[in-house]
Amino acid sequence: MNVKQVTLHLAELPMRTSFVTHQGTITNRELIIIEAEDEQGRKGWGEVSAFSTPFYTSETVKTAWHVIVDILLPNLKFKDLTHPRELVDKFSYVKGHPMAKAGLEGAVWDLYGKQQGKSLKELIGGVRNSVKAGAVLSLSDHLAEDISYLKSSGYQRYKLKVERGKEKELVKRVQEIDPGLPLMIDANGAYSEKDIPYLKSLDTLGLLMIEQPFQAGDFYLHRKLQSQLTTPLCMDESIASFHDAKQAIELGSCRVLNIKISRVGGLTAALAIHDLSRESGIPVWCGGMVESGISKAHNLALSSLENFSIPGDLSSSCRYFYKDIVTPSIQVENGEIDVPSGPGIGVEVNEEFLRSLSTSNYVKSYQ
């Protein structure tokens, strides 16, 4: 592939309001933005969506920066590549670090699309021109205002972050505000085996699904609980690879999968998981990571695939940030978001604004 240089931008994107879960609070979103440029000046953009601290997965912004700068880039020979999907094998000597790999792979996918004159949706075989939007409700004191605003924009699925032991109270708060709201809860692995009787009692709440009740990698407990529930379980943190998805499906550990490009190691892995899930009759949806419009554009292309039948964590640029780094900004209209149709991810990066947000940069030349 024609790649002249790769640039990393460490940036902090100011948030409108703090995003609160039982694991932590985010007030400014620290991100690594990756820029891959070819000899003709075309640029592809990717994003490392690891958090600053390891509360979601073991990866952090600092570990991802180290892996990309000190390991992946020095050993990468772009002239040996003909397609972005080949990066999976090129990165296989590095164990773990899926978010670092996904950010770099994403920039290459975007650049490849621009070089081919095709949208990312076209490259991967997407079938939808727009996708249904879902929203995440954080643990805030202004739930009623949030729900009113999101409903007015037409969001079609709502995910509530919950605290252990307060699930019924929080769900009741939401259902009192709007009894018919399509609602799921996200547990972020907060429970253990002794909580199974209590979790079974949540079966009466009429939830769309319960996401990741047990720790990442615990396929046994998820299977044990799912066999006793009518409510579908959805796996999130547990699915860090195609192999994990296959285990979850074959063991009956869940009835729904959340696919995050960053968590599974990149778009190539996400495509393989989508295909496996479709063949297995398991519906999927696209999870979000409080990301900029770069990741959102990648997610929209992925969500245009056939088996993404559940509205994902896909929201407007203004949902979390005062100003996004892409133009045009991502917008929800009547509960849906258009899938960008331009070359690559189909949005442009406001490079001047990105530079103003950047606290550190790194450039690797391949000339």
Lowest-confidence segment of 97-101, 163-167, 230-234, 321-325 by average pLDDT: 163-167
Q: Which fold would CATH assign to domain 5-117+348-360?
A: Enolase-like; domain 1 (3.30.390)
pLDDT at 149: 87
Strands, E assignment, 187-299: 210-211, 233-235, 256-259, 284-286
For the question of residue 161 being annotated catalytic, the response is: yes
Q: Which of 43, 101, 121, 161 is catalytic?
A: 161
Distance CA 152, CA 331 (A): 13
Active-site position among 43, 159, 260, 296: 260
φ, ψ (nearest 5 deg) of residue 133: -100, 140
Q: What is the mean pLDDT of residues 102-125?
A: 98
Is residue 346 predicted with pLDDT exceeding 90? Answer: yes
How many whole angstroms separate alpha carbon 63 and alpha carbon 316? 29
Q: Could you give the CA distance from residue 200 to residue 99 in angstroms, rounded to a whole number?
A: 33
Q: Is 200 a catalytic residue?
A: no
> Vertex 362, ends 340 and 261: CA angle to 5°?
35
Q: pLDDT tens digits, residue range 61-77? A: 999 999 999 999 999 99
277-297: average pLDDT: 96
Mean pLDDT, residues 178-190: 93
Q: Where are the domains of the chain?
A: 5-117+348-360, 123-338
Does residue 1 carry a pLDDT above 70? Answer: yes
> Considering Cα of 260, then 263, then 268, then 271, what sign does the dihedral take?
negative
Higher pLDDT, 320 or 70: 70
Mean of all residue pLDDT scores within the chain: 94
CATH of domain 123-338: 3.20.20.120
H or E element that contains 114: helix 98-116
**For the whole model, what pTM was predicted?**
0.94
